[in-house]
Each structure stands twice: as C-alpha cells, then as structure tokens.
Chain A
Amino acid sequence: MHELSIAHSLVEIAVETAENARMKRVKALYLKLGALSGVVKEALEFSFDVVIQGTPLEGARLVIEDVPVKVFCPDCQEAHKLPEPFPMRCPVCGTRTGQVLEGRELELYSLEGGEGDAADDAKPPNC
C-alpha cells in the first residue's frame, strides 16, 4: 500500500503549488496515471481522501486520467497503444517488444482553483 506515501507526495506538491499561485481553495487535482506506474488507482483515491483531511486541499476532487501503455514495435517501426498493459506484444503484428514509450506516468499536471480566488482577478488570454 505505497499509495498512501504517494498520496502524501501528491498533496505536498499541490499545496505548495496552490500557495505559490495564491489559490485559496483547490477544487480539483488532475493526475495522469500510467498503466505501468505500479500504482493502483482505487488505492490512491482512497488514500487521497484520507490524506487531504485537515489540509488546504480538503474537499478537493482527484481526477485521474488513465494513460495506456504505448510501445514501439521493431517490426512495424511504429508506436502502438496496447489495449491491456500485458502481454507486451505489438497489437498489430504480435511481435514482442519491451520498448515502452508511454505508460509509466505518475504526473500531477494541473490544479483547478475555487471561486473567489485571487486568481479570479486575472484575465484569461484573448479577452
């Protein structure tokens, strides 16, 4: 259950980022989770709900985007997404390949703030 440690790191990064961005309330955290990251989504969601108690992130939602495994096939000379992370075979020609291009991600890629934030004063571009 290393997802609890990971949830702690996630919250640490998010709190720091929110403070720097003068975001008073965080509504949602967007995370990319690769199928080969070694992290169980449900365990991470559970841990997240526990870890945010009493932090500035309390009440925030964790939105997880699953990233499938993408491999490079030496026979097709092309990158292909795998329907399932394993077996590691090219889905087109069936050749085995261990050249993983995507699928190991464990990346916090954005935070969404709440209403009434200092950031509300900022004007979106092109307005």
Chain B
Amino acid sequence: MQQMTLNPRIVEIRQNVLKKNDLLARELRKRFRETGVYVVNLVSSPGAGKTTLLTEMLTRLGERYGVAALVGDLATENDAERLRQSGAKVRQITTGTVCHLEADMIERSLEGWNLEDIDFLFIENVGNLVCPASYDLGENQRVVLFSVTEGEDKPVKYPTIVNSADVAVITKIDLAEAVGFQRDRFNEALNEVRPGIPILEVSVRTGEGIDEWISRLEAAKEAFEKTVGSS
C-alpha cells in the first residue's frame, strides 16, 4: 500500500461516496434543529403497517402538535391520501424506480412548508429493508417496524437496517397468538444485530401499546427541545 501512495499516477481521495447525501442530511438536520422540528424516519418491509401506525400517530399527536408527513413510494398517491384524512400536512414522494428516499428528495419536498409550524415530521420510507439503511435523511430517530407475521428471524436476515435503527416497533401484536409469534426469539434476534435496541409492541386495531409509543415520542421531542434550547 505504502508503495502505491508513492506512485505519481495514484491520486489519494478518501471520500465518502455518499458525501453529497450526507452533507445535505447534515444541513437538513441543522434546519430542523433551528426550527424545532423533530424528525422520525420509519423503515420496514412493505405491509408491516407503517401507514396505519402513522395515521394513528398523526391523529393523536395532531391534537396537540403541528404534524406533517412525507411518504415515499415508487408510485401512487394512495398512502398520502389515507394519511391526509388525519388532517395533517402530507406530501407524497413518488420515487419512480428508486427503492429508498435520499436527502435531496426530502429537501425538495419541504418547499413551501413553514417549518416553524411543524413539531413532528414523519418520513415514511419506501417499503424496503435493504436500501434505506444507507441514506441519512437528517432524522432524529430511525424506527424499524416489523409485524408479527414476518417471522422471528427477519432481523437477522436484514441486519444492516436494524443495526442503523434507534428503536424497533413490533406491529399487529393482536395477531401474535394467532400466528404463533415467539416474542423471545424475535427479541433475541433484534439484540443479536443491534444490542440493547428498545423494543415496543403495538396494535393499532386494539390500541395496545399506542399510548406508550406516543408518550415515548413526546418525551423524545421534549428532550430534543432541551438540547435546542441549550445550544
């Protein structure tokens, strides 16, 4: 290696390939911080229940806070329309063939929104447990969702996204018994790839765990505001 660096035809670069995205994400994070917007990036496979849980979050938090959502999908406005029923500001990001959201898509989608009016911004990523892992969107927390129907070894099959997440939410917990969900095995799998990750169980249908999840988000927002105030 040493010899190579002495070769005049070798140019040293040492540059993160995703530098553009990461710089933009950093700028976004700064903007969000300055305007007091707490940002949550939701990632999961298709069908894990992101939109259903998000509708619930927007409705509940919308009673006391300014809430907004950006929703990524390859095509259709369907999810945005569902979410708009909560009364929140919602924009769909249709990515065409792109399997994840990137920081510049977030930046473009914020155009015309007054960030001062927003307390919580939720980003529903494209349903995919692989590609969204590599892209920082300027979020405060990344939440990975799994439904009880997905199998206990799902976290070890898609370890990178779990490893990049801050919280894991298990959805459709009301179906746990019916599908023979093995809670211990699932939690063990999560801890193998992201030791110590907080795990919450929810069901939008029965309301189980939702209060706790909402309180957790509010507490995170409060802690975020304190750090904003102290800077």
Contacts and interface: CB of A to CB of B under 8 A. Distances in A.
Interface stretch (B68-76, B84-92, B159-167, B211-219): B159-167
Contacts of A9: 17-18, 20-21
Contact of A109 (B8, B13, B18, B19): B13
A38 B15 contact: no
A113 B192 contact: no
Interface string B168-191: 000000000000000000000001
Nearest to A122: B8
Contact of A87 (B6, B15, B164, B193): B193
A15 to B, nearest CB: 12
Contacts of A93: none
A76 interface: no
B192 A86 contact: yes
B81 to A, nearest CB: 27
18 contacts: A2-B99, A9-B18, A13-B15, A17-B13, A17-B15, A38-B134, A87-B192, A88-B194, A98-B163, A98-B196, A108-B14, A109-B12, A110-B14, A111-B10, A111-B11, A112-B4, A123-B8, A125-B6
B14 A39 contact: no
**Residue picked from A5, A14, A98, most chain B C-beta under 10 Å:** A5
Q: How large is the interface on B (under 10, 10 to 19, 20 to 34, 35 or more residues)?
A: 35 or more
B112 interface: no
Contacts of A21: 11
Given A5-B102, A109-B12, A113-B10, A86 B19 contact: no
Nearest to B158: A38
Interface in A73-122: 85-89, 96-98, 100, 106-114, 117, 119-120, 122
Contact of B8 (A13, A39, A120): A120
A6 B17 contact: yes
